[in-house]
Amino acid sequence: MEGLIDLSNPVYLGICVILLILLVFAVVKKIIKLVITAGAILFIYVIYLMYTEQDIPEDIDTLRDSVSKTVEKSIDEVKESTRKVVEDKVEEKIDELLGN
């Protein structure tokens, strides 16, 4: 095992240090992107709440509840509109098949 990782040579040690620095830089960069994305989403959500004249949550629990209610409402609306579109298309196809 000692022969596998031999850092006594300064060239190997330099390569390992450079790789470690690049790895740390990549991780920090990903974390910064994640924080910026989460902040942007939160900012857009607050603007949405202000636009729809809803109360802006004061703490994390009310924010979580508000987000989950909004998501559930949006999902229900999408399901209903999708169901309506599918029903309309099915009726059109049935009329087309029976009409000809």
pLDDT band at 33; cut points 50, 70, 90: very high
Query: For 75-79, what is the mean pLDDT?
Result: 90
The whole-number pLDDT of residue 12 equals 80
pLDDT band at 4; cut points 50, 70, 90: low
- Asked if 48 contacts 56 with a C-beta cutoff of 8 angstroms, the reply is no
Say what the pTM is: 0.50
Least confident of 36-45, 54-63, 76-85: 54-63
The whole-number pLDDT of residue 1 equals 47
What are the C-alpha distances in Å from 57 to residues 4, 53, 54, 70, 88?
56, 12, 9, 13, 39
Question: Distance from CA of residue 53 to its chain's centroid?
Answer: 25
